[in-house]
Chain A
Amino acid sequence: QVHLVESGGGVVQPETSLRLSCAASGFTFSGYAMHWVRQAPGKGLEWMTVISHDGNRKYYADSVQGRATISRDNSKNTLYLHINSLTTDDTALYFCAKEGGYSYGPWVGYLDNWGQGSLVTVSS
């Protein structure tokens, strides 16, 4: 079955950068778009970014445009998120999630499998 495991979180200082990873298994990783979604403590879900199956298309929410970079390595079945210039507002649980639908198919607009998240705390 689909398994997504995020890593790379922890306590980081403001104005620094961070790279999160998401290891995928149980499906044809190279066939699906992948997302990052975050959730601040006690708050709702915030969609951040999506990358196409081949890495050629990337889209970002306005809130992170210019500070976040999504990437993937299909040879390693791994998704990445790099965020720079961190502030306390970036403190959140970061989830990776798989686009639904069919392998190598069009985007269907929903996220059918999620990891358990990696907690990032920005604090001095």
Chain B
Amino acid sequence: EIVLTQSPGTLSLSPGEGATLSCRANQRVTSSHLAWYQQRPGQAPRLLIYGASSRATGIPERFSGSGSGTDFTLTISRLEPEDFAVYYCQQYGSSLYTFGQGTKLEIK
């Protein structure tokens, strides 16, 4: 089973700053099968990035994804107030899906 470990657990930043969130796998992940989601309090998750670097429909350009192999990154440039939420990475392999434990992005 592929285990995804996200870091940091919590990231405290101010609006306007940039954020870098990490997702590391315990074995190689096919880049086309790595996704990122945002979950605001009381809401369902929302797909942000798929295929490691492709933005989903309607996602602002300030969100970008990168990485390959076992190390993936979600970058948010110029944080907006609505970006403070929990972010999850997720992978698909061998017919199974797994999520990372999440990174909480909070206002400093």
Contacts and interface: CB of A to CB of B under 8 A. Distances in A.
A59 B46 contact: no
B63 to A, nearest CB: 15
Contacts of A112: 47, 50, 56
Interface residues of B, number: 30
Contact of A109 (B37, B44, B97): B97
Q: Which of B30, B50, B100 neighbours the largest number of chain A CB atoms within 10 Å of its CB?
A: B50
Contacts of A53: none
A47 B97 contact: yes
A59 B1 CA distance: 13
Given A44-B102, A95-B44, A114-B46, A61 B96 contact: yes
A47 B34 CA distance: 14
Interface stretch (B16-24, B72-80, B85-93): B85-93
Interface string B90-108: 1111011111111000000
Contacts of B51: 108, 110
A95 B44 CA distance: 8
Nearest to B45: A114
Interface residues of A, number: 25
Q: Which of B32, B86, B92, B93 neighbours the largest number of chain A CB atoms within 10 Å of its CB?
A: B92
B35 A109 contact: yes
Interface of A: 35, 37, 44-47, 50, 57, 59, 61-62, 95, 97, 100, 107-117
Given A44-B102, A109-B33, A116 B44 contact: yes
Given A45-B37, A109-B35, A114-B45, 16 more contacts: A37-B99, A44-B101, A45-B45, A45-B102, A47-B97, A50-B95, A59-B96, A108-B33, A108-B50, A108-B92, A110-B33, A110-B35, A110-B92, A111-B45, A115-B44, A116-B43
Contacts of B86: 44
Given A62-B1, A95-B44, A117-B44, A110 B99 contact: no
